[in-house]
Amino acid sequence: MTINTGFSGAVLHVDLTSGRTSRRSISSETARDFIGGLGLTFRLAVDAVIPGIDPLAPGNPILIGTGPLVGTGIPSSSRVYAVTKLPATNTIGWCGAGGMAFGCNLKYAGYDHIIITGKSDRPVYLDIVDDDVKLRDASGLWGKGVSGTIALIRQRTGGRGGIAAIGQAGENRVLFSMAYIDGVSTMGRGGLGAVMGAKNLKAIAVRGTGHVEVSDAARYKTLAAELAGTIRNYPYLKEWQQLGMLKSFPMVPPELYEKIKKRRIACVSCPFGCKDLVEIPDGPFCGHTASSSSVINLLMPIVYGFSDYREAIRLVSLLDEFGMDMFEFFGIMKFAAELFAQGILPANENDPPIVINSLSSMTAWAEKTAMRKGAGEKLANGFAGLLAKYGDRAAACAPALVKNMHPYTGPDSALPWDLFGTMELGQITEPRGPHVGSGGSPTYFAKRPLDLFPRHLERMGVPKEAIPRILSANAGDKPGLNVGTLLAYSHRWFSTLGSLGICARAQVNRFYNLELCSALYQAVTGLPTTPEQLRLRAWRVWSLYKMLNVRENAGLNTDTVPQRWVTRPGFREYVSEEPLEQRQVQQMISAYYREQGWNVETGAPEPVTLKRLGLNSLFT
Amino acid sequence: MKRFKIKVDPAVCTGCMRCMLACSWVHSKRFSLSGAMIMVDASGAECSITFADGCIQCGSCADACFYGALAKQAPEEVMP
């Protein structure tokens, strides 16, 4: 049986090699079992991904999906996920983005998902207007940056719809190149941009003139009104709306932010609007405007030593224009500087000399890397490429890496938090490589009192019987926090939100709970769903994600602890704040596997778990 | 149904388009952008907010706005 409330009920298949497109329906049973959005995209990947495929080969598919709440006006329900084999880690990973106008337009065009395979023989962009799906010539776009590409496509589309585009870094297969939705939301720091570039796919533009219906309008109306009321009564709503992500990470004073702020930007139906449009008010870059997934991203070079915020904005604008991940770029630059210092990279290639806090140096190296010029050719291959080329000597001076990528948080990383919570541990157990997006929990707020945890854990769908296991130390003999056990539920909560299409940011997901999610899901889709059923499906979704990587032989024994994290000054234990030891992190990883029903030694889901989740038949 | 004058403040609009979805929902029990009588264009430096001729000024768009970009003023008249 097909499904058409909440869901559009169809997958758009695009073969770039032949140019053929087709529309295939989704059964309600499959939609129900994998929820939608992120979960259903993983399910489609089981059949679409050829095990062992080279990430940059034509046969590596790009799957894009939106959840059943996307386009329904439910607050912050705009998420878009891509799943592909990522070149930076050679793993199958999710790439998430605040969907801006892309997700709802995809639904209104009549699709929940797109599966893109093959490779075009010339640069193209995919242009979707309802049933009219075209591969249009992109020779005039090739070589242009992200914003330039989007501006030209918008001229052709009249400014309507959503656009996901890559810059020059994606065209040149830089391993940490991303796609950008509407020029603002970043997607896929592990190299989604390179996968698109390898397919000669410059962009995807979608406009939908159709609609989404809900199954139970009266129930939907009640739930939506209650949720909106709760959000409006939130005492910090105005502050979030005014400061955005600066509220949680005050990198510059509010007065300075007010000077540069042009306007806040929100994804469709979001009450917070974490994105920004800013304008440099004075100095040599006076009048330069930049839009970003957050103003703190634009200012992040300050953390790397930039003293002038205007230069920071200028550099990140350039990285965004090339379409490269800023965190990985800085990690690579610091590593390259060390390789030059050690004589491992030839000194004559250090031109201009790498100076991490210099705008002129970083500007030159951003271009060299994105265009693969000079030594930029080597740096564009990321940590994995440099370590493969220069071996043990390079490894000896590498920073803390997880699956050969630069973590967001931790010693040597950009974000300064040093208490080891679920987001920090999650960087290790994420199959896609270090990412904090899926590991959210109350530990997001450092030093939050433990007696506040149960309320949040229940909200996240943690079963009551699991809470005592979480609120105990690893040894179980004194009050504490078992971060590994908690992380299993962080990943299931992320799976729930991502599969519905709801943003997982802390300031948004605080308004959601498992009961509300199941009620909304049922009202919108008409699929009977209890909280317990939704909890089981979310576990199924994350275990399926793991199995996709086990099938690649990439999910086994790869969750290792960077030595630097447990070398003083390294991470500290979340509750005691004592220096963290490697043994403790290993225990957390084991506890995480155990709670997930995965093998404690290899990390692979146990056969009994696969059977309970109904996944065993997919991997025989 | 009451008819309201809608006060518009594009300077605080974030382009979230929730107003458009509310409009289509209230009038058709479907969510769409093309069916909305209010249009938000967020592609420029400042959002542009316009109303189609078919707008009946019911105020549902202002009720949906989280940012204060739309506000209902005193009802002008009661529609039959």
pLDDT for A608 beyond 90: yes
What distance in Å separates the CA atoms of residue A359 and residue A310, rounded to the nearest whole number? 10
Tens of pLDDT along A551-596?
Answer: 998 667 889 999 999 998 999 999 999 999 999 999 999 999 999 9
Contacts of A280 in chain B (CB under 8 A): none
Cα A121 off chain centre by? 29
CA of B76 vs chain A CAs: smallest distance (Å): 25
In the predicted model, what is the mean pLDDT of residues A107-113? Answer: 98
| A64 closest CA partner among A77, A80, A85, A78 | A80
The answer to whether A484 touches A592, Cβ cutoff 8 Å, is: yes
* pLDDT for position B45: 85
Would the pLDDT of B80 be above 70?
no
Query: Does B11 contact A269 at a Cβ distance shorter than 8 Å?
Result: no
Nearest to B43 among A154, A241, A266 (CB): A154
pLDDT at A416 (0 to 100)? 73
Helices (H), A342-372: 359-370
pLDDT digits (tens, 9 = 90+) for A534-548: 999 999 999 999 999
Q: What distance in Å separates residue A289's CA from the closest CA in chain B?
A: 9
What's the pLDDT score for residue A144?
A: 98
pLDDT of residue A473: 64
Q: Which CATH class is domain B2-78?
A: alpha beta
Predicted confidence at residue B49, as pLDDT, reads 97
Tell me how far the alpha carbon of residue A304 is from its chain's centroid.
Answer: 22
> Looking at this predicted complex, what is its ipTM?
0.95
CATH placement of domain A237-397: 1.10.569.10
A48-60 per-position pLDDT tens digit:
999 999 999 999 9
CATH of the domain spanning A419-619, picked from 3.40.630.30, 1.10.599.10, 1.10.10.60, 3.40.50.1000: 1.10.599.10
Q: How many pairs of residues across A and B have Cβ atoms under 8 Å apart?
A: 93
CB A246 within 8 A of CB A296: yes
For the stretch A241-295, pLDDT in tens is 999 989 888 888 999 999 999 999 999 999 999 999 999 999 999 999 999 988 9
Say what the pLDDT of residue A474 is: 52
SS3 A550: helix
Instruction: Tell me which chain B residue has its CA closest to the CA of residue A211.
Output: B32
Q: Which two tokens stand for residue A62?
A: 């790009």
- Select from B14, B25, B45 the Cβ nearest to the Cβ of A73: B25
pLDDT band at A501; cut points 50, 70, 90: very high
Q: Give me chain A's average pLDDT, please.
A: 95
Helix axes A309-322, A326-341, angle to 10 degrees: 100
> Per-residue pLDDT for A113 more than 60?
yes
> What distance, in Å, lies between the first and last C-alpha atoms of chain A?
25
Please enumerate residues of A whose Cβ is less than 8 A from a Cβ of B: 71-73, 75, 101, 104-105, 108, 154, 159-160, 208-214, 217, 228, 231-232, 237, 241, 262-271, 273, 277, 289
**What is the predicted pLDDT for the residue at A77?**
97
Residue in A101, A208, A266 closest to B14 by CB: A266
**Cβ atoms of residues A442 and A470 within 8 Å:** no
Contact A269 B17 (CB under 8 A): yes
* Res A478: pLDDT: 64
Query: How do the domains of chain A map onto residue ranges?
Result: 10-207, 237-397, 419-619
> Does B12 have pLDDT greater than 60?
yes
Residue-level pLDDT at A277: 95
- Segment A313-332 shows an average pLDDT of 97
CA-to-CA distance for A375 and A134, rounded, in angstroms?
38
How far apart are alpha carbons A358 and A355 in whole angstroms?
5
Whole-number pLDDT of residue A555? 67
**Surface-to-core class of residue B63, CB atoms within 10 Å of its CB (0-12 exposed, 13-18 middle, 19+ buried):** middle
Choose the mutation target among B13, B14, B23 for the interface with A, i.e. most A CBs under 10 Å.
B14
**B positions 17-56 inside 8 Å of A (CB):** 17-18, 21-22, 24-25, 28-35, 41-43, 45-47
Tens digits of per-residue pLDDT, A483-497?
Answer: 999 999 999 999 999
Across the interface, do A273 and B67 touch by the CB < 8 Å criterion?
yes
Query: If you average pLDDT over residues A162-178, what whole number do you get?
Result: 98
Q: Is B60 on the interface with A (CB under 8 A)?
A: no
Give pLDDT, residue A353.
98
- Say if strands A124-129 and A132-137 run parallel, antiparallel, or are unpaired: antiparallel
**Chain segment A472-486, per-residue pLDDT in tens:** 865 555 678 999 999
Cα separation, B3 vs B55, in Å, equals 10
- What residues contact A156, with CB distance under 8 A and at least 6 apart? none
Render pLDDT for A410-469 as a digit per residue (tens, 0 to 9): 988 988 789 999 999 999 999 999 998 999 999 888 788 899 999 999 999 999 999 999
| One-letter identity of residue A39 | G
Distance of CA A131 to the CA centre of its chain: 29
Q: What is the CA radius of gyration of chain B?
A: 12
Residue ranges per domain, chain B?
Answer: 2-78
> What CATH topology corresponds to A10-207?
Aldehyde Ferredoxin Oxidoreductase;  A, domain 1 (3.60.9)
With CA atoms as reference, the chain B residue closest to A289 would be B45
Distance (Å, rounded) from C-alpha A112 to C-alpha A81?
A: 11
- To the nearest whole angstrom, how far is the Cα of A264 from the nearest Cα of chain B? 5
User: In angstroms, rounded to a whole number, what is the distance separating the alpha carbons of residues A338 and A340?
Assistant: 5
CB contact under 8 A, B14 and A273: yes
CB-CB neighbors (< 8 A) of A98 in chain B: none
Tell me the C-alpha distance between A10 and A6, whole Å: 12
The answer to whether A273 contacts B18, with C-beta atoms less than 8 Å apart, is no
Element (H, E) at B76: strand B70-78
Work out the angle between the directed axes of helices A531-551 and A483-500 (0-180°, nearest 10).
100
A277/B17 Cβ within 8 A: no
pLDDT for A102 equals: 97
Pairing of strands A10-15, A113-117: parallel
In A54-166, where does DSSP find H-type helix?
Answer: 102-108, 146-157
pLDDT of residue B79: 59
Cross-chain Cβ contact A268/B17 below 8 Å: yes
The residue-averaged pLDDT of A507-527 equals 97
Both tokens of B66, joined, read 């989280």
Distance CA A412, CA A427 (A): 14
Q: How far apart are CA A274 and CA B65, in angstroms?
A: 16
pLDDT per residue as tens digits for the range B37-77: 999 998 888 899 999 999 999 999 999 999 999 999 977 76
Q: What's the rounded Cα separation, in Å, for the pair A455 and B71?
A: 36
Q: Model confidence at A2, in pLDDT bands (50, 70, 90)?
A: confident
Residue with tokens 């890496």: A401
Q: Which residue has the higher pLDDT, B80 or A306?
A: A306
Flag whether pLDDT at A354 surpasses 90.
yes
pLDDT of residue A412: 84
